Amino acid sequence: MIDYWCNCFLPSRRALWDAAVAGQGLSIKVRREGGDGFAEPAEMVARMDELGIAALLLPTAEVPEHAGPFAYERYASQPEEARELTRRWPGRFASLWSFDPTQGMPAVRRASEALAEPGCIGLHYHTHSFDRAFDHRDMYPFYALAAEHDVPVVMQAGTSGGIMPSECGKPIGIDRPALYFPELRFVLSHTGWPWVDEAIAMAGKHPNVYLGTAAYPPHHWSAELLRFIDGLGRGKSLFGSGFPVGGHRQAFARLAELPLREPSRRALLEGAARAVFTRLRPTREEKP
């Protein structure tokens, strides 16, 4: 299995999540129990081995000086953290560079530098932090960069989990970029909820648009989403945990209860991710 969206899992982030949930009154459960909580790197690798997880993809960002106490960059892996994980366990961890479209060309150049590193396999956009719809003009330089490097762009679609604007996450916003960049692979994450049907429509229409499930546990997936994953969306749907909002152990138990055909299940858990993240390296043993 490949998890295309795993927020930083290190124990140092636990207090941050607790403060964010309490401080903003969020209806988010942070995984702690049943071996699904925060972990040191070696412990997480052991958990991955136990559960059959081939790779975790880590949104990675630098924390800007102006970042507020609950800015998304604080929940992402920091560059040095991701760099060490991808060095020690090649193929088991990879980074997705999380960019800020409001910063213009300096941010484009920084994203280009990140993509030059061997462990970075795509771009990531935390949509609601910046209130830029997917077809906003500020997004196009980053799409052009991703297309040039032949890497995908993963973006949160749907409503915001925090106290931020939500309309920017409407899935229909990917329609024009998908037409303009037919060679660029886009992943609409978080099922697009509450606009799930709209996200399904975009992934069904465009060969280069995929639908990701991060942060939404399988027992909350709609009947329409299940039909898509098990039908026209086979090979176009990716599993993600959105850790620690979703825990791997819990998610796999819920997945086992869903009436998915085995080819659809395999495509959801790994096949589609391998097609999207073509830079993802084969798994190798830990380096000393």
Confidence (pLDDT) at 288 = 39
**Domain spans in the chain, listed from the N-terminal domain onward:** 2-276
pLDDT along the chain (288 residues), means of 10: 97 90 68 81 97 98 90 96 96 98 98 97 97 98 98 96 90 98 98 97 98 94 97 97 93 94 97 97 56
CATH level 3 topology of 2-276 = TIM Barrel (3.20.20)
Question: pTM here?
Answer: 0.94
Q: What is the model's pLDDT at position 203?
A: 98
In this prediction, residue 287 carries a pLDDT of 45
Q: What is the pLDDT of residue 286?
A: 44
Contact 20, 70 (CB under 8 A): yes
Q: And the tokens for 78?
A: 């920091």
- Distances from the Cα of 86 to the Cαs of 53, 172, 287, in angstroms? 15, 34, 10
pLDDT attached to residue 262 = 97
